[in-house]
């Protein structure tokens, strides 16, 4: 059996880092971990190939070779999905689809031959059994949650490793919180299910020994600290031992909730294990809006102090922010700007509130007849899929004001300096001066330091960092490249 895995193309967005990849000679940020995991669940005697359309083009010869094309996608990839389906239909090649987009929207894709929905550990074996007996059905779905202690090591060997900026692994699924705009719990549940520590160490071994990876690794869990007891008492101590034994070949980034700031021991262990950054859903400094979206973990705390504490402990913080809650007033836009600048959160992903399908927010707005379309999944496209309480034009103008302010050259570099002052880089963290960083620096000197209007601010940052924070020069260079990407993505002057 010949199986072709196809990962559709992302449009340019905040997290695509399309404009940053050219500085380090990479084609995509991270590999399609879901498809690699599914591949490892298929019979080992089957022939498998991967086309990540963010790295290489999908050709007719790829499709002609395949008996089945397996596709996984998120909402933001919908346009590319249509192209993949069209190409497969030209050659009458059967399509097997799964992942978040199809799990929540499969009714809109009648052209798909087979849907393997929810978690593949449960639904894929059912499909394979029926396929073997010659009577595979169109739809396989479940309301159960998988035992991920049985999930195999992803088939990383399918990758062209040199094309990616990071590798990725998954430690857990599910989130204990219940933010009303978030689709994670509708897909993966509230109970945090963990892989065993032995599984994670095995995956680190695979990255290190089998594909010879060195560098950044993204832990893709929606909340890395969702199960604090297991993370603190089992996983992190084992990761620390592994990293020390292998002389810290990886730098990890994670996603976590803001209550990380309340646990000094957790932060210390994370940094010692090689984790140097975390993405946190801040959303808003407005308490009424936090209440509205049920962001309980962010309420009744000084968010700025919590962020600074995490930075002081050796973790860079990137953050998600939202405007457009029903409780938002016109002053929210300047409040968001001021908060982001004061926080030193350089990578501030600000989006207009959207209601993804199957969330509590979607159901509420649907009952109020306020849903106007499906969410695009792209928080940089200046759109919302429901009728907001605030006047629409005011919401859009206010959002554009935030973006044009925080990603303007002057205020962006000011925020980088704020972070570097707060960020207490730990001794066990590598310097980050690798060949790719050197190459990125040389390219940034030419593109950002000479060709761009903001070159004066660029050189101020480089000189300031060399004088005040020389150990963080790799971080400074990285953030100059990120800033270039963000300004390009939002259509701002560079």
At a CB cut-off of 8 Å and minimum separation 6, what does 301 contact?
258
User: Which phi-psi region, left, alpha or beta, contains residue 89 (left: φ > 0; alpha: ψ -120 to 50)?
Assistant: alpha
Place of tokens 């605030």: 390
* Whether the Cβ atoms of residue 443 and residue 394 lie closer than 8 Å to each other: no
Q: Which of 73, 156, 64, 158 is nearest to 115 (CA)?
A: 73
pLDDT higher than 80, residue 52: yes
Q: Which two tokens stand for residue 413?
A: 């570099």
pLDDT higher than 70, residue 428: no
pLDDT higher than 90, residue 433: no
Q: Which of 118, 484, 232, 485 is nearest to 126 (CA)?
A: 118
- Cα 432 from chain centroid? 21
Determine how many CB atoms are found less than 10 A away from the CB of residue 109: 17
- Tell me the average pLDDT across 102-113: 95
> Between β-strands 275-283 and 167-169, what pairing exists: parallel, antiparallel or unpaired?
unpaired
Binned at pLDDT 50, 70 and 90, residue 303 comes out as very high
pLDDT higher than 90, residue 310: yes
Q: Distance between CA 39 and CA 159 in Å, rounded?
A: 12
Q: Which two tokens stand for residue 65?
A: 């070779």
pLDDT higher than 90, residue 11: yes
Phi then psi for residue 461, to 5 deg, are -65, -45
- The pLDDT of residue 493: 78
Q: Distance between CA 465 and CA 456 in Å, rounded?
A: 14
At a CB cut-off of 8 Å and minimum separation 6, what does 446 contact?
none
pLDDT higher than 70, residue 342: yes
Q: Distance between CA 282 and CA 431 in Å, rounded?
A: 28
* Whether the Cβ atoms of residue 219 and residue 199 lie closer than 8 Å to each other: no
Lowest mean pLDDT among 40-44, 178-182, 342-346: 178-182
- The pLDDT of residue 311: 97
| Average pLDDT, rounded, for the chain | 95
Q: Distance between CA 338 and CA 405 in Å, rounded?
A: 10
Complete domains list, the chain, with CATH? 2-140 (3.40.50.280), 166-422 (3.80.30.20), 435-489 (no CATH)
Q: Per DSSP, what are the bridge partners of residue 383? A: none
pLDDT higher than 60, residue 430: no
Determine how many CB atoms are found less than 10 A away from the CB of residue 397: 12
- The pLDDT of residue 61: 97
**DSSP-H helix ranges across 111-254:** 120-132, 184-188, 197-205, 228-230, 236-245
pLDDT higher than 60, residue 196: yes
- The pLDDT of residue 432: 56
- Tell me the average pLDDT across 369-386: 89
* Whether the Cβ atoms of residue 152 and residue 37 lie closer than 8 Å to each other: yes
- Tell me the average pLDDT across 338-361: 96
* Stretch (H or E) spanning 24: helix 18-24
- The pLDDT of residue 438: 86
Q: Say how many Å lie between the first and final Cα of the chain, rounded.
A: 50
pLDDT digits (tens, 9 = 90+) for 443-487: 999 999 998 888 999 999 999 999 999 999 999 999 999 999 999
pLDDT higher than 60, residue 218: yes
pLDDT digits (tens, 9 = 90+) for 140-187: 999 999 999 999 999 999 999 999 999 999 999 999 998 999 988 888
Q: Which two tokens stand for residue 60?
A: 């007719």
CA angle at 54 for the pair 138 and 254, rounded to the nearest 5°: 90
Binned at pLDDT 50, 70 and 90, residue 84 comes out as very high
Q: Distance between CA 484 and CA 454 in Å, rounded?
A: 10
The rounded percent of the chain whose pLDDT value lies above 90 is 89
Q: Distance between CA 327 and CA 288 in Å, rounded?
A: 6
DSSP state of 2: E
The rounded percent of the chain whose pLDDT value lies above 70 is 99
At a CB cut-off of 8 Å and minimum separation 6, what does 145 contact?
119, 173, 174, 188, 189, 191, 193
The model carries a pTM of 0.95
- Tell me the average pLDDT across 354-383: 91
Q: Distance between CA 130 and CA 491 in Å, rounded?
A: 50
Per-residue CA distances from 84 to 59, 337, 489 (Å): 10, 40, 25
DSSP state of 418: H
């Amino acid at each position: 059996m010949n199986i072709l895995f196809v990962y559709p193309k992302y449009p340019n967005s905040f997290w695509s880092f399309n404009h940053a990849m050219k500085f380090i000679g990479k084609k995509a940020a991270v590999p399609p971990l879901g498809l690699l995991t599914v591949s490892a669940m298929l019979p080992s005697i089957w022939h498998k190939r991967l086309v990540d359309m963010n790295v290489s083009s999908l050709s007719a010869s790829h499709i002609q070779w395949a008996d089945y094309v397996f596709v996984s996608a998120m909402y933001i990839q919908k346009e590319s999905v249509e192209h993949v389906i069209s190409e497969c239909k030209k050659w009458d090649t059967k399509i097997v689809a799964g992942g978040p987009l199809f799990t929540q929207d499969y009714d809109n894709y009648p052209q798909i031959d087979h849907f393997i929905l929810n978690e593949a550990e449960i639904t894929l074996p059912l499909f394979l059994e029926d396929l073997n007996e010659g009577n595979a059905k169109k739809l396989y779905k479940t309301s159960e949650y998988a035992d991920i202690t049985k999930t195999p090591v992803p088939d990383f060997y399918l990758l062209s490793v040199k094309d990616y900026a990071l590798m990725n692994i998954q430690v857990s699924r599910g989130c204990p919180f219940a933010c009303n705009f978030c689709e994670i719990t509708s897909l993966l549940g509230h109970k945090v299910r963990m892989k065993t520590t032995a599984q994670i160490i095995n995956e680190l071994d695979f990255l290190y020994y089998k594909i010879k990876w060195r560098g950044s690794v993204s832990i893709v869990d929606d909340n890395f600290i969702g199960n604090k007891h297991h993370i603190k008492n089992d996983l992190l101590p084992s990761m620390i031992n592994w990293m020390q034994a292998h002389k810290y070949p990886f730098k990890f980034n994670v996603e976590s909730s803001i209550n990380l700031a309340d646990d000094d021991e957790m932060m210390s262990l994370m940094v010692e294990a090689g984790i140097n950054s975390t993405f946190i859903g801040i959303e808003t400094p407005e308490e009424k809006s936090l209440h509205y979206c049920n962001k309980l973990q962010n309420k009744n705390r000084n968010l700025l102090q919590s962020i600074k504490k995490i930075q002081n402990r050796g973790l860079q913080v990137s953050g998600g922010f939202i405007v457009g809650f029903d409780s938002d007033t016109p002053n929210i836009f300047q409040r968001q700007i001021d908060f982001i600048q004061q926080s030193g959160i350089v990578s501030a992903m600000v989006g207009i509130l959207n209601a993804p399908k199957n969330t509590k927010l979607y159901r509420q707005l649907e009952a109020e007849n306020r849903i106007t379309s499906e969410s695009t999944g792209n928080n940089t496209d200046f759109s919302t899929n429901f009728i907001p309480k605030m006047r629409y034009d005011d919401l859009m103008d206010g959002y554009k004001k935030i973006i044009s302010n925080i990603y303007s050259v002057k205020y962006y570099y000011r925020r980088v300096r704020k972070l570097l002052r707060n960020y207490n880089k730990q001794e066990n963290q590598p310097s980050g001066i690798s060949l790719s960083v050197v190459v990125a620096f040389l390219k940034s000197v030419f593109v950002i330091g000479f060709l761009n209007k903001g070159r004066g601010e660029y050189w101020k940052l480089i000189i300031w960092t060399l004088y005040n924070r020389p150990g963080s020069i790799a971080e400074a260079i990285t953030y100059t490249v990120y800033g270039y990407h963000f300004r390009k993505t939002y259509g701002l002057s560079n």
